[in-house]
Amino acid sequence: MRAVLLFLAILFAAPAMAADTAARDAARATVERQIEAFRRDDAATAYAQAAPAIQNMFPSPDTFLAMVREGYAAVYRARRYSVDRIEEAGDDGLALGVTLQDEAGTDWAALYSLERQPDGAWRISGCRLVKAPGSSA
């Protein structure tokens, strides 16, 4: 009987775990798509990854890109980056921890917040950027 209960628990948990993995993969893809768009100066694609609240603050892709260029240079021109962790943040949110290295070789830590949109897409609602501990420059 115990084996049957365990099997049923796994059977019902599997779709939830698959959905969780799919959501995390989609959120990761959103952040990676934006970073790659910054690398190409593709303002439209980078802007499209931002949540509506961010888009309302920056009414055009070009103003958004200018803000990122000035205030988030490590993200704008990341020499390399990796998504290190993904955590739930509320009912329809995820937080992604990303390590980056800027053009000068300085290491940075970014914490992205993402929110699921009514259409199911993940959009970036914020990014907090700090120098990585022990990083010079």
Q: Which amino acid is at 61?
A: P
pLDDT at position 87, please?
A: 78
Supply the pLDDT for residue 15: 44
How many Cα atoms sit within 13 Å of 134 on the Cβ side? 0
Q: Cα separation of 132 and 107, whole Å? A: 5
End-to-end CA distance of the chain: 62
Q: How far is CA 61 from CA 20, 39, 42, 50, 87, in A?
A: 31, 15, 9, 10, 28
Instruction: Look up the CATH number of domain 2-131.
Output: 3.10.450.100
pTM of the model: 0.81
Per-residue pLDDT of the chain (137 residues; tens, 9 = 90+): 555 444 444 444 444 444 488 888 999 999 999 999 999 999 999 999 999 999 999 999 999 999 999 999 999 999 999 988 887 777 778 889 999 999 999 999 999 999 999 999 999 999 999 998 776 65
